[in-house]
Amino acid sequence: MFDKILIANRGEIALRILRACKDMGVRTVAAHSTADAEAMHVRFADESICIGPPSATQSYLNIPALITACELTGAQAVHPGYGFLSEKAEFAQILEEHGLTFIGPKAEHIRLMGDKIAAKETMRRLGVPVVPGSEGGIDSDAEALAVAAEMGYPVLVKAAAGGGGRGMKVARSAEELPRALATARAEAKAAFGDDAVYLEKYLQKPRHIEVQLFADSHGNVVHLGERDCSLQRRHQKVMEESPSPALTPAQREEIGETVASAIRQLGYLGAGTIEFLYEDGRFYFIEMNTRIQVEHPVTEAIYDVDLVREQIRVAAGEKLSFRQKDLKPRGHAIECRINAENPKTFVPNPGLIKYFHAPGGLGVRLDSAIYEGYRIPPYYDSLIGKLIIHADSRAECLMRLRRALSEIVVDGVNTTLPLFEELIENPDIQAGDYDIHWLERWLASQTE
């Protein structure tokens, strides 16, 4: 096991990683920007080191500064959290070249999954169901028109370097396709410096269901069920739950085994998430994420595991601490993302936390690095906490969430908390009856 881990992130995930390290008796180094000198995880860490000014490009994305920080502190491994450098293959590779361990997958797998065309082709080859579409990239309008005619409209043009919804264009007819291709290409070129695009059948009312995977370097690969992340706004997840209200235990086992088998064939290491669109009882692979995800705690709640601890164990060459047969989901979990944003317009609202009261009680977990008197800096993502509720059933989980929302107080900045109080009273939410467009439609209906 490592003696010392450097945490190359901030906010609630930096604290989450720090807690896992402490539970394992591993010393911690908080690498932080000047804007985060007063952060809770910096105070709780064994050591801290400033890696640059507020701008993320000069601090949390500054690879030379992070390597130097490891050398100065004697940290042997780096946990990148999510965002920032967590899915930069180059970072994983450079750490390795410096004799340091990247707590995450191998650089080759990060690179492979970063190319959405290669990722899809790989998954298809390994027996994972994928969305019907072009085989590889699209080179001409004629090719796109032929593929689209074959599978039928509407179709979706996606960027190979995309993900998270950027560089996507729907074409509802052959007339619309050339323009959709040109726009998607131009946006992809501007956003990613790569104009490669591919074509898929456009699914009109799917759910977003993702499967959690874990692999160690001893050939053990397991799945930890799914998370339903359909409740999104502008490609930002708002509320996630596990298990998905849409799946049966038999469907869970089947898709879990399918993806575990694919990952085993790849020789993957660490935590991974396979994202699917799910419509009319069928799964369609869209992307794979090679990081720990924001919503990992809902999986931790129902499987009673510490996923960050497992990331650290397998990065150190140890075995996973569980086998597939040990993993039995219990009950239901829901996560609410608390953002410092206007709950109606979602405009970020950084500033001073004047008063803070944490909720508590059985089945209530709050992952947050805020405290009374903390000033949320304006430079980073507006996520300030996650409220994770666990109960025996979905109905009890919603009741318990209602209780926790009635207890929590965050004063001084606007947050998304009022949104959840409304959402949990909605009949569709209570019934688990929602797709990826539900939240945007509901928000639009609220402002009319």
Positions touching ligand MV4 (CB under 6 A) are 131, 156, 163-165, 200-203, 208, 232, 235, 277, 286-287, 436
What is the Cα–Cα distance from 339 to 350, expressed in whole angstroms?
A: 10
Listed as own residue / partner, the contacts of 408-412 with beta carbons closer than 8 Å and 24 or more positions apart are 408/357, 408/358, 408/359, 408/366, 409/355, 409/356, 409/357, 410/338, 410/353, 410/355, 410/356, 410/370, 410/384, 410/385, 411/353, 411/354, 411/355, 411/356, 412/351, 412/352, 412/353, 412/354, 412/355
What is the Cα–Cα distance from 233 to 420, expressed in whole angstroms?
A: 14
The DSSP 8-state label assigned to residue 300 in this structure reads H
Q: Where are the beta strands (DSSP E) in 160-281?
A: 169-171, 197-201, 207-215, 221-233, 236-242, 270-279
The residue (of 210 and 367) whose beta carbon lies closer to ligand MV4 is 210
What is the Cα–Cα distance from 144 to 200, expressed in whole angstroms?
A: 10
The residue (of 36 and 435) whose beta carbon lies closer to ligand MV4 is 435
State in angstroms the smallest separation of the CB of 10 from ligand MV4: 24
State in angstroms the smallest separation of the CB of 291 from ligand MV4: 14
The residue (of 64 and 165) whose beta carbon lies closer to ligand MV4 is 165
The residue (of 26 and 423) whose beta carbon lies closer to ligand MV4 is 423
Q: Name the token pair of 298.
A: 């809902």
Q: Is 330 a catalytic residue?
A: no
CA 409-413-416 angle, to 5 degrees, is 70
Whether omega before 329 lies within 30 degrees of 0, making that bond cis, reads no
State in angstroms the smallest separation of the CB of 244 from ligand MV4: 13
State in angstroms the smallest separation of the CB of 203 from ligand MV4: 4
The residue (of 45 and 156) whose beta carbon lies closer to ligand MV4 is 156
State in angstroms the smallest separation of the CB of 435 from ligand MV4: 9
**H helices within 74-165, ranges in order?**
89-97, 107-114, 116-125, 141-151
In Å, how far are 290, 386, 390, 444 from 81, measured between CA atoms?
A: 11, 15, 23, 33
What is the Cα–Cα distance from 270 to 254, expressed in whole angstroms?
A: 21
The residue (of 277 and 353) whose beta carbon lies closer to ligand MV4 is 277
State in angstroms the smallest separation of the CB of 105 from ligand MV4: 19
What is the Cα–Cα distance from 25 to 3, expressed in whole angstroms?
A: 8
In Å, how far are 30, 241, 254, 328, 402 from 250, measured between CA atoms?
A: 43, 18, 6, 13, 30
State in angstroms the smallest separation of the CB of 60 from ligand MV4: 23
State in angstroms the smallest separation of the CB of 89 from ligand MV4: 19
User: What is the b/e burial string over 315-346, where b = at least 16 CB atoms within 10 angstroms of the residue's CB?
Assistant: bbeeebebeeeebebebbbbbbbbbbbbbeeb
The residue (of 88 and 116) whose beta carbon lies closer to ligand MV4 is 116
The residue (of 198 and 374) whose beta carbon lies closer to ligand MV4 is 198
Which among 291, 313, 365, 394 is annotated as catalytic? 291
Pair 147, 133: CB distance under 8 Å: yes
* Residue 184 dihedral angles phi and psi, to the nearest 5°: -60, -45
Q: Which residues are catalytic?
A: 291
